[in-house]
Amino acid sequence: ETGVTQTPRHLVMGMTNKKSLKCEQHLGHNAMYWYKQSAKKPLELMFVYNFKEQTENNSVPSRFSPECPNSSHLFLHLHTLQPEDSALYLCASSQDFPGQGALPNRSPLHFGNGTRLTVT
Amino acid sequence: DAKTTQPNSMESNEEEPVHLPCNHSTISGTDYIHWYRQLPSQGPEYVIHGLTSNVNNRMASLAIAEDRKSSTLILHRATLRDAAVYYCILISARDDKIIFGKGTRLHILP
């Protein structure tokens, strides 16, 4: 149990479908992240949220739409995806508020076990 | 781009120590060195981190070179459950982007 829960664990969707991935953390963390992990490629940072505000969008296509209604929940809304979007989508959280230059240290990221997405 | 360089893969025998190297020659003064590992079918998990001094915790030890341009993660007694991809990453308090590289895939031989 990592403290970060992602649902569903597996998802198969067609290119015309609309679906959402959910991430929940009860660690009291302030920052949440979406990462994409494709086969044989490094983890790619997609989005960063701090206190419900998006602070980073790493050039992600608009067919991926994040939502952070509160500090404990993060969603990734998916629509009109392509087969190359098939990947493991990982959510993470951390205590710190990224970008605070006064803090000399960064607390660790806590990852969920991901949602394995297949686009057909 | 990832700011660290690691070997693609390593092998070690069970119950022996493992030394996983990481080069980070462009490290800045505000960068902390973090290590994570990813077990099969799981998300990455935090292992250890440090700034200048060597660090020990229940999972591993981190040895940091005096010039901070390299570091080594030490697993004192590897078990089969330590087989994973190990990531060495640099994280600064001023940077929202936490970038992972390809990591080192560690194989443990029984």
- For the segment B68-84, the average pLDDT, to the nearest whole number, is 96
Q: Using pLDDT thresholds of 50, 70 and 90, give the confidence band for residue A47.
A: very high
Give the contacts of A32 (CB within 8 A, at least 6 positions apart).
A23, A25, A48, A49, A68, A71, A74, A91, A92, A93
Distance of CA B83 to the CA centre of its chain: 13
Q: Using pLDDT thresholds of 50, 70 and 90, give the confidence band for residue A102.
A: very low
Q: Do A113 and B41 touch (CB under 8 A)?
A: yes
Identify the residue among B91, B95, B99, B104 best suited for mutation to test binding to A, counting A beta carbons within 10 A and taking the highest: B91
Q: Do A48 and B96 touch (CB under 8 A)?
A: yes
d(CA B83, CA B57): 19
- DSSP state letter for B5: B
- For the segment B20-39, the average pLDDT, to the nearest whole number, is 92
Mean pLDDT of chain B: 92
Mean pLDDT of chain A: 88
The token duo for A11 is 């998802």
Give the contacts of B13 (CB within 8 A, at least 6 positions apart).
B78, B108, B109
Asked if the C-beta of B55 comes within 8 angstroms of chain A's C-beta atoms, the answer is no
Asked if the C-beta of B57 comes within 8 angstroms of chain A's C-beta atoms, the answer is no
Nearest to A89 by CA among A97, A81, A100: A81
Q: Do B2 and A42 touch (CB under 8 A)?
A: yes
Q: Do B100 and A104 touch (CB under 8 A)?
A: no
Residue A79 C-alpha, separation from nearest chain B C-alpha, in angstroms: 24
pLDDT value for A99: 56
* Site of tokens 């940077």: B95
Phi/psi at B61 (5° precision): -125, 150
Residues in chain B within 8 Å Cβ distance of A96: 93
Identify the residue with better confidence: B89 or B30.
B89
Asked if the C-beta of B92 comes within 8 angstroms of chain A's C-beta atoms, the answer is yes
Residue B13 C-alpha, separation from nearest chain A C-alpha, in angstroms: 25
